[in-house]
Amino acid sequence: MKNKICTASDIIHKIAQIKRQYINDRMVFIQSENMIDLLVTLGATETGLLGLQRVSDQLAKDPTLSFRESRSGRFCIDFDRFRACRLDSQPFVLSVEEDFVRHDSGKARRFEEVGNDLQLNSAFQALLAFKSLMVRDVEITHRPKLDYSTNNWICTVFNLRTITTRHLRGEPALEGVHSDGVDHTMTTFLGSDNMANDSAITSVHDMREKNAISWDRTDPGLILGQSQHRSFLDTLLVVDHERKHSLSPVIAEDKTRRSTRDMLIFFTRKPVMPGHVSHPYDSLTEHTGLPMSIDLPTLAITG
């Protein structure tokens, strides 16, 4: 994998352009080639990039979805110290009140934890650094019961493999049209196998679209954009409380073999306040068993 190294001025210019689009459109899709260049400049190594493409082979059974394998980890993005660190394991909850309507809404789910193979990977750490540059100082519509007075952000990362077989249909978003209960959602493609070209198309919707409606029953007039993660590190960012989204299923190219789609999902929000459904599960305690800490870039990129 050969990638050019961008200069400091290159990265500032590129990220400023991306951030400007993100601020203006409240969403932005960054294609593989651009993401690789940016991540290499932010510290991703050849070994890290290759390792990121294999990390999903170590996933565990998902707690509620039979067609998915998963792992999760919580991180703190601290803009007082420009530092990101691993936080202790906590259950994960999304509720109907947060525009997430599914059979497990409101249920405290406990995922197997991501390990050092992901969190110590240089490309993953570069993704955290990139996310920090994108969300810093972006004005957004505030969610209820989140603490916007702090410079800390909680970033919950999911490593997910969606699987389609002759007996299972892999749904990257079984919940239909939804939001993720956070401030900023970032989705990054790691790879796929035997996935048809019309699989897993993401639609971004106006907030007027009805929650939980299937991706193929939405109002075309409320679709604000569409994208498809097909190449390694294709990345989508969405201001989550200002846009909803949905995805079409994973379809097998060869119907006799299983199809897989591997992703990293970065849910980033402010810490919750009392009364929020996640308040019992929002510790800022650092993880003692799987410690990780990195410095974040201090560049002030306004877009």
**For 74-112, what is each residue's pLDDT tens digit?**
999 999 999 999 999 999 999 999 989 999 899 999 999
- Structure tokens given for 119: 């969190």
Order of all β-strands in the sheet with 201-205: 223-228, 201-205, 244-247
CATH of the domain at 98: 2.60.120.620
Place of tokens 């193929």: 216
CB 147 within 8 A of CB 272: yes
pLDDT(302) > 90: no
Give the tens place of pLDDT for each residue, 212-235.
999 999 999 999 999 999 999 999
CB 294 within 8 A of CB 122: no
Give the model's confidence band at 13: pLDDT under 50 very low, under 70 low, under 90 confident, else very high: confident
Would 217 be classed as within a structural domain?
Answer: yes
What confidence score (pLDDT) does residue 60 get?
Answer: 98
Give the tens place of pLDDT for each residue, 122-152.
999 999 999 999 999 999 999 999 999 999 9
Would 16 be classed as within a structural domain?
Answer: yes
Would 57 be classed as within a structural domain?
Answer: yes
- Please provide the average confidence, as pLDDT, over all residues in the chain: 95
First to last CA, the chain: 30
Would 225 be classed as within a structural domain?
Answer: yes
Would 3 be classed as within a structural domain?
Answer: no
Would 1 be classed as within a structural domain?
Answer: no
Quote the distance between the C-alpha of residue 252 and its chain's center.
23
Would 184 be classed as within a structural domain?
Answer: yes
User: Domain tally for the chain?
Assistant: 1
Would 70 be classed as within a structural domain?
Answer: yes
Residue 102: give the domain boundaries.
8-295
H or E element, residue 77: strand 68-78
φ and ψ at residue 124, rounded to 5 degrees: -65, -45
